[in-house]
Amino acid sequence: MTDVAIIGDGPGGLSAALFLAKNGLSTVVYGQDKTAMHWALLKNYLGLEEISGTDFQVVAKKQVERFGARLESRHVDAVSREGDQFRVTFEGGESVTSRYLILSEGKAPKLAQQLGVRFEGPAAVTDQNGQTSVPGVYAVGRLARPARSQAIISAGDGAVVALDILSKEKGQAVVDWDSPPKS
Ligand SMILES: Cc1cc2nc3c(=O)[nH]c(=O)nc-3n(C[C@H](O)[C@H](O)[C@H](O)COP(=O)(O)OP(=O)(O)OC[C@H]3O[C@@H](n4cnc5c(N)ncnc54)[C@H](O)[C@@H]3O)c2cc1C
């Protein structure tokens, strides 16, 4: 069983994976590199002067894997709740389980609807930490804010849900801070 299964390999899902794996949770991201980022030329991502969405994805995936998250090129067909865990089923019927589920499906929220997540119009409803109406299920990025589709917002959402899960695991508020070595 994986600690966290993330469905969606755009900036939302990858950002969540980075924080979770960096802080020791076993984390798998499912997606087939079909993110909208391949149509983007980012001139508005703070800290980066200009980068194509495709180049951004290449760097982001390397960074996430370096911290120990696994990226699997698979399409998730179904998700369901089984007691206090989740079952993630792929094309062909194979399945895995996880303790938390992060949905970063982008603009086509099939799995969130399948799980019975509450929607307002096209947006999955979440609290300020990305938690949906289904305990243990988080929604980030375009799925939660379809009318605010920006890469940096999705990445920020991913960081928020990761810190919420890490805080729940630790039983206290967690931040992920690093400092440069002292000279
Ligand atoms: C033409 C264009 C130009 C843009 N320009 C900019 C720009 O200049 N600046 C900017 O900030 N933003 C730009 N954007 C928007 C940006 O691409 C999105 O805001 C960003 O991709 C959203 O990230 P996300 O992680 O929320 O979702 P997405 O990037 O949409 O990622 C969702 C991922 O989940 C996958 N997925 C969904 N369901 C499943 C499933 N069942 N199993 C496995 N995988 C699944 C999808 O295939 C996809 O890869 C642009 C978008 C377009 C279309």
In angstroms, the CA 42 to CA 79 distance is 32
Computed over every residue of the chain, the mean pLDDT equals: 97
Look at ligand 1, atom 22, and give the residue with the nearest C-alpha.
151
| CB of 75 closer than 6 angstroms to any ligand 1 atom | yes
Nearest ligand 1 atom, CA 14: 25
| CB of 151 closer than 6 angstroms to any ligand 1 atom | yes
Look at residues 92, 80, 83 and name the one whose alpha carbon lies nearest to residue 7: 80
pTM across the whole model: 0.97
Give, for ligand 1, the residue of 80, 154, 157, 161 to mutate: max count of ligand atoms closer than 8 Å to Cβ. Answer: 154
Return the higher-pLDDT residue of 69 and 92: 69
Residue 174 has pLDDT above 90, yes or no: yes
Residue 108 has pLDDT above 90, yes or no: no
Phi, psi of 127 (to 5 degrees): -85, -175
Nearest ligand 1 atom, CA 13: 25
Look at residues 39, 21, 47, 50 and name the one whose alpha carbon lies nearest to residue 107: 39
pLDDT for the residue 107 = 87
| CB of 109 closer than 6 angstroms to any ligand 1 atom | no
Sorted by sequence, the CB contacts under 8 Å of residue 125 that are 6+ apart come out as 117, 118, 119, 132, 133, 144
Q: Would you call 59 exposed, middle or buried from its count of C-beta atoms within 10 A (0-12, 13-18, 19+)? A: exposed
In angstroms, the CA 182 to CA 148 distance is 40
Nearest ligand 1 atom, CA 33: 49
Using the structure block, give the residue that is written with the tokens 């094309």: 91
pLDDT for the residue 69 = 98
In angstroms, the CA 19 to CA 40 distance is 24
The CA-atom distances, in angstroms, between 140 and each of 68, 150, 179, 180 are 21, 12, 28, 30
Look at ligand 1, atom 33, and give the residue with the nearest C-alpha.
8
Look at residues 32, 24, 26 and name the one whose alpha carbon lies nearest to residue 7: 32
